[in-house]
Chain A
Amino acid sequence: MSTILETSISAEQLHAALRDKTRDLAFGDERMSLFEPLRLEIANAIHGFAARPADGAASPRYDAARIASDQAAALVEAAVPQQHRAALVAGVRNAAAALAAATKAAGPFAGFAGALRLSTAASPVRIVAPRDIALGAAAQDAPPEPEGANYYQKLTNLFPAEGLALYGTGVALYSGANALVVLVSLAVLGVLRWVAYGAGGGDQGARVLAVAAAGVSFLLWATATDPKWLAAFLTVSDTASEQIRHGAAFAGAAAVLLIPLVVRVPTKD
């Protein structure tokens, strides 16, 4: 796990190694044709990395950039005049790319986490102390972001479209509804929704309810489409199967109406 500062220091050591080569007369024209453009690229990557939102915490996602920088720095330091440069160039470019990646990617779920956030609480505070002290009440009074306000948007938010897409794919692959497809889809849906409703320290109870609502909607919808998957758990006659299907369709319709009343989805008004 590397912190922003540790990663920056590694990048700075690579930069210093390149800079030293640009000043070393033994390297002749390579000072400006090879080392200086590489140095500029690393400097640019450092600028970008420094300007990224600072969360201060160590993160495994900086490790790649740090390791690449350290390796490249070793290559540059060891470079002697009149040498094949492929490895050195590849190493430095790789470090620049890794730094750029660390600048952009804030984790595998970064863009996703909190996308359907339930709470209207502000995004997580990056640097805690100055908000408390310097910015004080002004920071607290920032208006909440406008979020889905009307009923249809609520329904869209709660309707588990991604689960259904997975389920559809599974049914196509296994040529028919079976318990495995339904349960796997349900599990994936649960995880996705859990992440998507989360982030920012919202109301955990509402999060659980919303995930449960999505799961129930999905099960009802899957049953209403084809109740055969229930055969894995109980013996269902064809007549009963049809009744279950109708029942599930009704319950699904009822759920669509009832769930928004139970699950608190933020509204502006």
Chain B
Amino acid sequence: LAGGGCREARRATDRPAPQRHSNEEQTMRRRYGLAAIALIAALGGCGANALRLEMAGSVSSSATAVVDQSNAAIARARAARVAANAALIASDASCSPGSDTVYIYVPNAQFDSRTPPPPLCARPAPAGGFSPRPGYDVAAVSVAPLPEDAIKPTLALIGAIADYQGALAKIVAEPNADVQKELEAIAAKASSAKTLAEGVTGAKLPTLPDLKSKQATSAIALLQFVADLVKEARKTADVRRLVVQRGPQVMAIVPQLREQLALWHGIVQGTDLATQTNSLLRVYEQEKQLPGSTFDQRRSFVERINAALADEAGLPAKQAALNTVLDEFVAVHAALVDALNGKYTPEMRRRIAKLNEQRLLSALKLAAEAFASWGVL
């Protein structure tokens, strides 16, 4: 793996920094300085880690999109069912609310289009059963909301992807150490301790080196650079661990989620949207005949019908958008797995090379400044 070299470089830089002892060791220090610059430069060369973390970030955003849009799709399917049930019951005076089931007249083999049609809903007959209509049977149709038990597995699938996303995002968003801030905090504590000690003992204690001095600034800049790279390598290792452990399971979920969404959002919601539209159409046919019906009433009703038709017509596009989001999630995840395994596309290679070049230059610059200001070089 490309990351292997990076880790070795990191270990090498963990060696204690050379200290100034005497003029005789000047040559030795110089050698140490040059070696340290080379190692820092090598560490800076791990542009692949930056790219991997960036890709982990894309996987995380893509998973967020999957979770959000899947939840929205289920919410739409739920809402469509509620609206369809209300519209169906309200669309004919023969139907009554208050029950999870309505009984409707459904044609049977004796259906004859010349006989006048029955009302939509069948009413229970006093003698039990329903008043019979020639050419029709009575069928029970559920007007209950979407059954939560049946949706639960789909929500669990979405939850699993959300968990994965959360774990990835947590790794990626972990803040890097701010060396300057840490040192300032330490300096502030040391300074107040010094003041306290001076007050108690009356002695004048030596002052801490100034963090704003040229030496300190250049050292902090170099430390920050190294700390960032080390943190980046750790985050990459964490991402790798998560992707290896959980990635295959999560990817196995995606086809299941796709199926569940096709079922609930595409197919079941489609029938509910059609019920809404057709209920409006039924009412329109009845009401346009009424003597008091005006143009304005009819126009606003037709607009409602058109809106319902547009909702229906828009469903395939929404379903396609869901599939696109899932496809993208699968694609960016596969790309992340490839990148973690050191398989890069030519474009990725170019980006890594560019990142490495930039980092190499910063590493050399920072190291040279620091060592020069300490007098090592």
Given the complex, which residues of A lie within 8 Å of B137, measured CB to CB? 93
Given the complex, which residues of A lie within 8 Å of B88, measured CB to CB? 40
Tell me which of A33, A90, A133 contacts B160 (CB under 8 A).
A133
B156 contacts A127, C-beta separation under 8 Å = yes
Chain B 144-169 per-residue mask, 1 if CB under 8 angstroms from chain A, else 0: 00110110010011011001100000
Which residues of chain A from 97 to 134 have any CB-CB distance to chain B below 8 Å in the complex? 126-127, 129-134
Closest A-chain residue to B164, C-beta based?
Answer: A133
Given the complex, which residues of B lie within 8 Å of A42, measured CB to CB? 271
Given the complex, which residues of A lie within 8 Å of B113, measured CB to CB? 29-30, 33-34, 85
Tell me which of B104, B149, B259, B272 contacts A37 (CB under 8 A).
B104
Interface presence of B180 (CB below 8 A): no
B270 contacts A12, C-beta separation under 8 Å = yes
A56 contacts B256, C-beta separation under 8 Å = yes
Which residues of chain A from 37 to 84 have any CB-CB distance to chain B below 8 Å in the complex? 37-44, 46-48, 50-52, 54, 56
Interface presence of B262 (CB below 8 A): yes
Given the complex, which residues of B lie within 8 Å of A36, measured CB to CB? 278, 282
Given the complex, which residues of A lie within 8 Å of B268, measured CB to CB? 46-47, 50
Interface presence of B141 (CB below 8 A): yes
Tell me which of A16, A34, A51 contacts B150 (CB under 8 A).
A51
A41 contacts B271, C-beta separation under 8 Å = no
Contacts A8-B263, A47-B268 given; does A130 touch B106 at CB 8 Å = no
A89 contacts B157, C-beta separation under 8 Å = no
A8 to B266, CA, bound (A): 10
Which residues of chain B from 236 to 256 have any CB-CB distance to chain A below 8 Å in the complex? 246, 249-250, 252-253, 256
A123 to B271, CA, bound (A): 33
Given the complex, which residues of A lie within 8 Å of B111, measured CB to CB? 34, 85-86, 89
B249 contacts A129, C-beta separation under 8 Å = yes
Where chain B touches its partner, the secondary structure class is helix
Instruction: Report the minimal beta-carbon distance from B138 to chain A, rounded to whole angstroms.
Output: 10
Which residues of chain B from 107 to 137 have any CB-CB distance to chain A below 8 Å in the complex? 107-111, 113, 117-118, 120, 136-137
Interface presence of B274 (CB below 8 A): yes
Given the complex, which residues of B lie within 8 Å of A127, measured CB to CB? 153, 156-157, 256
B253 contacts A4, C-beta separation under 8 Å = no
Given the complex, which residues of A lie within 8 Å of B266, measured CB to CB? 12
B141 contacts A93, C-beta separation under 8 Å = no
Interface presence of B348 (CB below 8 A): no
B274 contacts A126, C-beta separation under 8 Å = no
Interface presence of B260 (CB below 8 A): yes
Given the complex, which residues of B lie within 8 Å of A40, measured CB to CB? 88, 104, 106, 141, 275
Chain B 279-304 per-residue mask, 1 if CB under 8 angstroms from chain A, else 0: 00110010000000000000000000
Closest A-chain residue to B268, C-beta based?
Answer: A50
Tell me which of A32, A54, A132 contacts B249 (CB under 8 A).
A132
A5 contacts B153, C-beta separation under 8 Å = no
B160 contacts A43, C-beta separation under 8 Å = no
Interface size class on chain B is 35 or more
Interface presence of B371 (CB below 8 A): no
B156 contacts A33, C-beta separation under 8 Å = no
Interface presence of A19 (CB below 8 A): yes
Instruction: Report the minimal beta-carbon distance from B105 to chain A, rounded to whole angstroms.
Output: 6
Given the complex, which residues of A lie within 8 Å of B156, measured CB to CB? 127, 130-131, 134-135
A224 to B113, CA, bound (A): 70
Given the complex, which residues of A lie within 8 Å of B267, measured CB to CB? 8-9, 11-12, 46, 50
A242 to B113, CA, bound (A): 77
Instruction: Report the minimal beta-carbon distance from A110 to chain B, rounded to whole angstroms.
Output: 18
B150 contacts A50, C-beta separation under 8 Å = yes
Instruction: Report the minimal beta-carbon distance from A7 to chain B, rounded to whole angstroms.
Output: 10
Instruction: Report the minimal beta-carbon distance from B101 to chain A, rounded to whole angstroms.
Output: 10
B253 contacts A29, C-beta separation under 8 Å = no
Contacts A19-B278, A34-B107 given; does A133 touch B150 at CB 8 Å = no
Interface presence of B196 (CB below 8 A): no
Instruction: Report the minimal beta-carbon distance from B275 to chain A, rounded to whole angstroms.
Output: 6
Given the complex, which residues of B lie within 8 Å of A22, measured CB to CB? 274, 278, 281
Interface presence of A228 (CB below 8 A): no
Instruction: Report the minimal beta-carbon distance from A97 to chain B, rounded to whole angstroms.
Output: 10
Instruction: Report the minimal beta-carbon distance from B307 to chain A, rounded to whole angstroms.
Output: 15
A50 contacts B263, C-beta separation under 8 Å = yes
Instruction: Pick the most buried of B105, B106, B156, B256: most chain A CB atoms within 10 A of its CB.
Output: B106
Interface presence of A193 (CB below 8 A): no
Closest B-chain residue to A51, C-beta based?
Answer: B150
Instruction: Report the minimal beta-carbon distance from B371 to chain A, rounded to whole angstroms.
Output: 50
A48 contacts B142, C-beta separation under 8 Å = yes
B108 contacts A89, C-beta separation under 8 Å = yes
Contacts A44-B141, A46-B268, A51-B150 given; does A133 touch B249 at CB 8 Å = yes
Tell me which of A48, A52, A93 contacts B106 (CB under 8 A).
A93
Instruction: Pick the most buried of A12, A34, A42, A133: most chain B CB atoms within 10 A of its CB.
Output: A133
Given A15-B270, A41-B104, A127-B153, 20 further pairs, Cβ under 8 A: A9-B267, A11-B267, A12-B267, A12-B271, A15-B271, A22-B281, A34-B107, A40-B104, A43-B271, A46-B271, A47-B271, A51-B146, A85-B107, A86-B111, A129-B157, A129-B253, A130-B157, A130-B159, A134-B159, A134-B163
> What are 12 A-B pairs at a CB distance below 8 A?
A29-B113, A29-B117, A36-B278, A40-B141, A41-B106, A41-B141, A50-B150, A54-B153, A96-B139, A127-B153, A130-B253, A131-B156
Listed from nearest, the 10 A-B pairs whose CB atoms lie closest are A130-B156, A33-B117, A43-B271, A51-B150, A133-B160, A134-B159, A134-B160, A44-B141, A12-B267, A37-B106
**A contacts, CB < 8 Å to B:** 4-5, 8-9, 11-12, 15-16, 19, 22-23, 29-30, 32-34, 36-44, 46-48, 50-52, 54, 56, 85-86, 89-90, 93, 96, 126-127, 129-135
